[in-house]
Structure 1
């Protein structure tokens, strides 16, 4: 993540407001896998969402991100320490953490250097967990409009790393001893306005906006509204499938 692509700083507040939350069951399961619950490192923490989720399960959580703007939107917690740092150079002490997590940021890393940093900061038997999620699922009609925005309109504006998210990180190296994990999902209940706000957090949308001076959501907003109204409700349930990779740091 050295020389990282800071695609989210300009919409840091919206990112904090509109992005979905990972399930508590994920954090609880991870806490059950580690040799001790003294410290966790959430790498690429963004606005601190995963760090705050880990906080009830660990004595200390170190949360690092290259973007000071993102960190400025993170909610404080007594046992969470936020700092500017990269995946490859965290600034953490050697053999200081029992768990390393990466939520929706792994595709930006310089992986070999990240692996070295993990081995430096991890205690014996520490667990590494990285996860991602791709498009949300609402209704078939809404999903079709969202896909039009995602692929047809914004396709050329996505960074190349986005492909790894679509593949659930299956194409990326993971240099730790894997073990099986349950299937986890995220769920939310959204209004139409929340969906529109969430779409505004896409990095490709921000890139399009800067190039053309026009919000690309305008190109689909009428179709999106019609698709929403077919459901006949103000609130719609939203689901995301998490792609989770977990492994243990071997001595």
Structure 2
């Protein structure tokens, strides 16, 4: 479909297995913002991880993605309906949605078109929340290797939209009445193997491999291994940058 950059279908299974999971406190906060909890729309759901948690708060969840491959690998509870449609053309009824969530994806959207749809499908008192997470951090030694890998090895293979993530979503238009939010972060205990699996989900890594016929993660792995220092697991954290607002 026109305008959709499908950068994740090829690694959709790895994406589902290796992406960081969001903190429960984030969903406690979001669910507490709405008057009703009848329907949530998780837009650009990817592997469905946000939808699965939303399903514990809402009677029904529609989890949509423009990538059929992502939906094939998504999993969630019985009150989640997965659907394939673009963010800018939602197959949802007018004034039907209490909460719209976009996790790590709004930077790919055509903003004006998506926001028009958000206004159409949101019921009175509805809330929209979009968030991204920044570059992960663990130890100073591992972080130094991560920075070199991110900037020097795969830096030029990132799509231009990554600038929105690097800018913490501060440059993304958000024409809604803002809601102050607490600070959230992702915290996981990961092995080096877990970290490597996560790096393979990066679109820049996939593009590097396609264009060069070689594996940048494999090439850099000895540096990561040395920096990791033999630990079985290490705490890895990601800062979350959230925008939340009242739609009507």
Mark yes or no: TM-score above 0.5: yes
Q: Is the 8 A contact 2:49 2:76 kept in 1?
A: no
Partner of 2:111: 111
For the 8 Å contact 1:180–1:246, the answer to whether it is kept is yes
Q: Secondary structure at the match of 1:69?
A: helix
Query: Which structure 2 residue ranges, 5 or more long, are not aligned?
Result: none
Q: Which runs of 4 or more aligned residues in structure 1 lie more than 6 Å from their structure 2 counterparts after TM superposition?
A: none
Distance of 1:9 and 1:44 partners within structure 2:
13
Which blocks of at least 5 consecutive residues in structure 1 are unaligned?
none
Superposition deviation, residue 218 in structure 1: 2.5
Q: Deviations over 1:160-185 (max 9, x none)?
A: 00010111110010011001001111
SS of the aligned residue for 1:209 comes to helix
Distance 1:83 1:37, change over 3 A: same
Question: With structure 1 as the length reference, what TM-score do the two structures score?
Answer: 0.97
CA distance in 1, matches of 2:206, 2:141: 25
TM-score, with normalisation over the residues of structure 2? 0.98
How far is 1:2 from its partner? 4.7
* Alignment partner of 1:65 is 2:65: yes
Whether the aligned pair in 1 keeps the contact of 2:127 and 2:244 (CA below 8 Å) is: yes
Deviations 1:122-147 (A, max 9, x none): 00010000000121111011011111
Match of 1:126 in 2: 126
Tell me how far apart the structure 2 counterparts of residues 107 and 67 of structure 1 sit (CA, whole Å): 16
What's the counterpart of residue 172 of structure 2?
172
Which residue number in structure 2 is paired with residue 28 of structure 1? 28
Q: Structure 1: how far apart are the matches of 2:105 and 2:22?
A: 14
Contact kept, 8 Å, 2:51 with 2:76, in 1: the verdict is no
Alignment map for 1:1-251 (pairs within 5 Å): 2-229=2-229, 232-250=230-248
CA distance in 1, matches of 2:123, 2:227: 51
Q: 1:236 to 1:223 in 2, by over 3 A?
A: same
